[in-house]
């Protein structure tokens, strides 16, 4: 793992990033590791951006004007689960293993802990995505279970792991 490049900036996802985020998730290597459909439109991402509110944190990692990563964190709406959030992210293949995911995750967890008061942050990740497992473990996520035949990828049903991080101090 290389130290993160200082010229990479973490920003809130805005209209200016729409084309870059759509391009990121339309990259075949990224699309096959997330639950997004291929060939997404900029308009679909615009609708997701419009749904933005205080319970949603949407971040991008930017190098110059290029979007090289994206992360979404959403706090659950149910009153009895308001201490829980879920996240998902994608990083451009050329930037994987270079600290981009770590920077996105660190920024999101800082907000989760210190601004949203989330005690539990959860995610699902494909069972065969070892680099992602390692990243999440580095930030305190633990495997809670295996979800069999959870998603269709490359024409086959594949398993995912349910992972969560519990913050022990309030």
Buried b (16+ CB within 10 A) or exposed e, 72-83: bbbbbeeeeeeb
The residue among 14, 131, 29, 134 whose CA lies nearest residue 62 is 14
- pLDDT above 70: residue 54: yes
Residues above pLDDT 90, as percent of the chain:
71
Nearest to 90 by CA among 40, 51, 54: 40
What pLDDT does 6 receive?
65
- Specify the CATH number of the domain 8-121: 3.40.630.30
Where residue 141 falls among pLDDT bands split at 50, 70, 90? very high
* Residue 39 confidence (pLDDT) above 70: yes
Residue closest to 106 by CA, chosen among 121, 92, 124: 121
Mean pLDDT of 114-121: 95
Instruction: For residues 122-129, give the mean pLDDT.
Output: 96
The arithmetic mean of pLDDT across residues 23-46, rounded, is: 87
Vertex 15 angle, CA 10 and 19, to 5°: 85
Q: Identify the pLDDT of residue 59.
A: 95
Confidence class of residue 51 from pLDDT cuts 50, 70 and 90? confident
CA dist., res. 76 & res. 129, Å (int) = 26
Q: If you average pLDDT over residues 73-99, what whole number do you get?
A: 93
Q: Does 170 have pLDDT greater than 80? A: no
Average pLDDT for the chain: 91
Task: Judge if pTM exceeds 0.85.
Answer: yes
- Domain locations along the chain: 8-121
DSSP 65-83: TEEEEEEEEEE--SGGGTT
């Amino acid at each position: 793992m290389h130290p993160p490049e200082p010229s990479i900036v973490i920003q809130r996802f805005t209209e200016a990033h729409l084309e870059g985020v759509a391009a990121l998730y339309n990259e075949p290597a990224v699309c096959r590791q997330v639950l997004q459909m291929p060939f997404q439109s900029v308009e679909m991402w615009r609708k997701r951006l419009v749904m933005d509110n205080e319970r949603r944190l949407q971040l991008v990692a930017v190098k110059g004007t290029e979007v090289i990563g994206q992360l979404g964190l959403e706090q659950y709406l149910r009153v009895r689960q308001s201490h829980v959030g879920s996240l998902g992210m994608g990083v451009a293949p050329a930037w994987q293993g270079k600290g981009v995911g770590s920077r996105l995750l660190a920024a999101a967890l800082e907000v989760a802990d210190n601004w949203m008061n989330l005690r539990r942050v959860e995610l699902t990740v494909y069972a065969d995505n070892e680099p992602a497992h390692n990243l999440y473990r580095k930030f305190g996520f633990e495997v809670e279970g295996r979800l069999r035949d959870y998603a269709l990828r490359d024409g086959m049903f594949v398993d995912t792991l349910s992972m969560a991080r519990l913050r022990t101090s309030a």
